[in-house]
Amino acid sequence: MRFSPSFLDEIRDRVPISAVVGRRVTWDKKKTNVSRGDYWACCPFHGEKSPSFHCEDRKGRYHCFGCGVSGDHFRFLTELDGMNFPEAVQQIADMAGVPMPQPDAQAERREKERTSLLDVMEMATVFFQDQLQSAAGARARAYLRDRGLTGRTIETFRLGYAPESRNALKEHLAGKGVPKEQIEACGLVVHGPEIPVSYDRFRDRIMFPILSSREKVIAFGGRAMSPDAPAKYLNSNETELFHKGSVLYNFARARKAAQRAAQGAGRAPDEKGGGTIIAVEGYMDVIALHQAGVENAVAPLGTALTENQLDLLWRMTPQPILCFDGDGAGIRAANRAAELALPHIRPDRTVRFAMLPDGKDPDDLVRHEGREPFDKVLAGARPLAAMIWSREAGGGTYETPESRAELEARLRQLVSVIADENVRRHYQQDMRDRLNSFFQPVSRQGGERRGFGGRQGQGQGRQQGGRNTAGGPSSTPSTISDRLARSTLVRGAQELPALRESVLVLTIVNQPQLLFEEYDEVSAIEFDNRDLQRFWSAVLGIAAGMGDRLSRERLVEELEASGFEPMLKALDQQIRNSRLWTATEAAAPSDAREGYLQAMALHKRTRALLWQRRELERELAEATEEGDGERVPQILRALQEVQMETKRLENQEAIIDGFGVMSGRVKGPAKG
């Protein structure tokens, strides 16, 4: 009996592959991560003592890094247990609680028709490819050459050309014996009751075949050669084969690339060293990236990302990167995608956002500057929480309690749509932390100010019309200068940010090579100080835009042009008053690096303790409310330990270039 792909997909989706494999293996407790559906065991196909057999529920696949076997539910049963395929299907269907399909003549006929339609689409693809290489396709070939595509890339993606004639494809297929009903069912011609004679849907267009997950051509996208065409890009209409909102361009090829990268690193996709998936905006972006060596990119089909497409991304990787063009439309698309993803995120799936330099798309970037600048944009991809915060808090003024309350209400409403309770709770805490930092009042005790800035604020993220891509300011330089002139950073040296934060920022400005040597860590730095947050976003944005052309002089010049000159001077004066020469322009690179590493270690430990304290306080409140007399003393003891460690950290010297920092004040030079 022939089983329909939809039935096989349904029972596979209902039964985690770990439930099938787990009957025959013992999971390794150290390497297995049940919450992520990520399992490891000794391979049942060959003898081994250490677990190299990997099973991943999200993909429904297994793979042994020792002997190389891999497959799905059915293959595991047929190869290990010796079942035939129908027996394996029967067992999985029983586990899923789904009845086996009864022989259905109509369903079998539809499946046969569907297969016939795929044959017709293949014939159309070959026709378009041949036309591209003909005299009629000369202009299209020249266009593709001008876009920098090689013959190999054109062949890989099976690009073609649809002639100008109204009936070229229709007549070609009819000559091959294809009935008009099949040509119409494939969406290759425009037809209907009001159209006396059908005609080719695609004319005078470069053709992009769109493949299914099984790598069969199911639709086309066509790029008009004429500037007068009503639509620059035209897709196939909805057919039995093609549902636009449920397909991603380059899905199958990108999935394989991500799996290869993950398997080569011995990790699950999207772990450090493994593969991930990058969603860009257009066909040409995907193709240009592939030619530049980035083979794990996909694109929606000319429309905004849909829930089905987002689900496809999550089937491939837990943290896809959504990469948007650096223009107003790209920012709006990123914001729509953030809203789309928010209700569906879970501990094992989220999204990150990479914003390209203003006016650039991936095709432009890799064609003119190579792959490296694009890799740096990806390395600076921001989490979903930062994207939500930037959109809501950025660009606004919050001089009154009412405006601040309105911002808080908007954030609370947005976060409330998250379905997963644990993730929702952590997002609520994250937004509270950001708000507290954003509006934190000045603390004049202890000589150190933990959060500062005027009551007027701007978020960290890039806004429409902004000048950088990583979350920098979008105001004009004069507006920024006016705001900074009112900030406590400029008004009073006694109200400066934590010294470790100033050291980190100014060291990077004066030694920008550190930005690329330590990019993953540097780009993820979070500051308590909101003026530094804005400043740091501008630094990252300028660096991403300059790439290899970045130097201290150009970075400072851009920062000053953006209105940050007062802040640069105030930070430099703070550092010089504290005699922390490793953070100044005159420091040797090796000394600056050492000072940066020590300041970073102190900063990370301080923030970790702060997060730990907040979590314990939350747990204490919950335990007290629930009347849990057993947990309360335990939490109090843990909280006391964290507070003692925090105090110890505040009172110890953090040695930076021979000088001690304590509570933001210099104690004096070290001996020797």
SS3 string, 516-539, reads HHCHHHHHCCCCCCHHHHHHHHHH
Q: Report the C-alpha gap between 13 and 7 in whole angstroms.
A: 10
SS3 content of the chain, % helix, strand, coil (to 5): 55, 10, 35
Task: Please state, as a whole number, how many other Cβ atoms lie within 10 Å of the Cβ of residue 121.
Answer: 27
**pLDDT value for 490:** 42
CATH 3.40.1360.10 residue ranges of the chain are 258-388
Q: Counting Cβ atoms within 10 Å, is residue 489 exposed (0-12), middle (13-18) or buried (19+)?
A: buried
| Among the listed residues 346, 351, 352, the one whose alpha carbon sits nearest the alpha carbon of residue 426 | 346
Are 35 and 22 a contacting pair, CB within 8 Å?
A: no
The reported pTM is: 0.57
CATH homologous superfamily for 105-242?
DNA primase, catalytic core, N-terminal domain (3.90.980.10)
For residue 123 the two structure tokens come to 């014939």
Tokens 């378009």 appear where?
128
| Among the listed residues 288, 299, 394, the one whose alpha carbon sits nearest the alpha carbon of residue 337 | 299
Q: Report the C-alpha gap between 117 and 62 in whole angstroms.
A: 32
For residue 222 the two structure tokens come to 């066509």
Tokens 């150009």 appear where?
554
Find the radius of gyration of the CA atoms of the chain: 29
Q: Report the C-alpha gap between 418 and 415 in whole angstroms.
A: 6
For residue 552 the two structure tokens come to 């201290």
**pLDDT value for 476:** 35
Q: Report the C-alpha gap between 570 and 61 in whole angstroms.
A: 56
Angle, alpha carbons 424-403-343 (nearest 5°) = 20
Looking only at the bridges linking them, the beta strands covering 160-162 and 189-192 are unpaired
Which SS3 state, helix, strand or coil, does residue 365 take?
A: helix
* Single-letter amino acid, residue 477: P
Q: Report the C-alpha gap between 243 and 532 in whole angstroms.
A: 47
Tokens 């209105």 appear where?
563
Element (H, E) at 144: helix 138-146
**pLDDT value for 658:** 37
Q: In the CATH scheme, what is the code of domain 258-388? A: 3.40.1360.10
**pLDDT value for 532:** 80
Buried b (16+ CB within 10 A) or exposed e, 45-58: eeeeeebbbbbbbb
Q: Read out DSSP for 234-262?
A: EEPPP-SS--GGG--BTHHHHHHHHHHHH
Q: Read out DSSP for 75-97?
A: HHHHHHS---HHHHHHHHHHHHT
Regions of the chain with pLDDT less than 50:
266-269, 271-274, 442-495, 652-672
**pLDDT value for 664:** 35
Q: Report the C-alpha gap between 205 and 444 in whole angstroms.
A: 68
Are 479 and 563 a contacting pair, CB within 8 Å?
A: yes
Distance, C-alpha 115 to centroid of its chain: 36
The fold for domain 5-96 equals: DNA Primase; Chain A (3.90.580)
Contacts of 81 (CB under 8 A, 6+ apart): none
Buried b (16+ CB within 10 A) or exposed e, 443-473: eeeeebbbbbbbeebbbbbbbeebbbbbbbb
**pLDDT value for 239:** 92
Tokens 């003898």 appear where?
47
Are 70 and 62 a contacting pair, CB within 8 Å?
A: yes
Q: Report the C-alpha gap between 383 and 374 in whole angstroms.
A: 18
**pLDDT value for 194:** 86
**pLDDT value for 408:** 92
**pLDDT value for 208:** 97
Positions of E strands within 476-627 = none
Please state the length of the chain. Answer: 672
Q: Report the C-alpha gap between 469 and 330 in whole angstroms.
A: 11
CATH 3.90.980.10 residue ranges of the chain are 105-242
Q: Report the C-alpha gap between 484 and 434 in whole angstroms.
A: 20
